[in-house]
Amino acid sequence: MKTITRRTALVLAASGLLAASPLPALAGSRKSHGLNTDADGVMLHGYDPVAYFTQDTAVPGRDEFTAQHDGATYRFSSAEHRDMFQTNPAKYMPAYGGHCAMGAAMGLKLDIDPQLFRVVDGKLYLNVHEQAQSRWQSDVPGHIANADAKWAKIRDVPADQLEAN
């Protein structure tokens, strides 16, 4: 886990986003600062991006069903889901490069818990922990507008160079 600055920790604590244990990790990014990938370049902690839309649940992907898109690897629970993704990747891409939606609304790139998601108007939003998701759901349209505006500024900035604002 990367460290967070003292100022960011104070802002997160004041906002209630630091209440969960362990501390929320700043998201990593292997090939692009905009994508939340693991050390092997895998998105969504290996969860199937199509299943969020077709099954309304988080489903782990399998190593035998993968696809590459924008330098990241996506895993799928079936060949059918992989093929659906390859036909229209933009439809299944997570918002904010797979970073926490509430974190993006605060100008941060936080890792996610792939079980904590919501599809809104055909877009996948994920959160780092239950407190962040609860706060995000308290004003979904407002937080999306805020995150969209901030994402344009932070997309290509490494996570460890950001401070909440």
- Domain ranges, ordered by start, for the chain: 6-161
- Residues 138-154 as b/e (b if ≥16 CB within 10 A, e otherwise) read eeeeebbebbeebbeeb
Residues counted in the chain: 165
Where do the H-state alpha helices sit in 55-129? 79-87, 89-92, 101-105
Helix (H) or strand (E) run with residue 75 in it: strand 72-76
What is the full per-residue pLDDT of the chain (165 aa) written as tens digits? 444 555 555 555 555 555 544 445 555 544 456 899 999 999 999 999 999 999 999 999 999 999 999 999 999 999 999 999 999 999 999 999 999 999 999 999 999 999 999 999 999 999 999 999 999 999 999 999 999 999 999 998 888 888 877
CB 67, CB 93: distance < 8 Å:
no
Q: pTM of the entire structure? A: 0.83
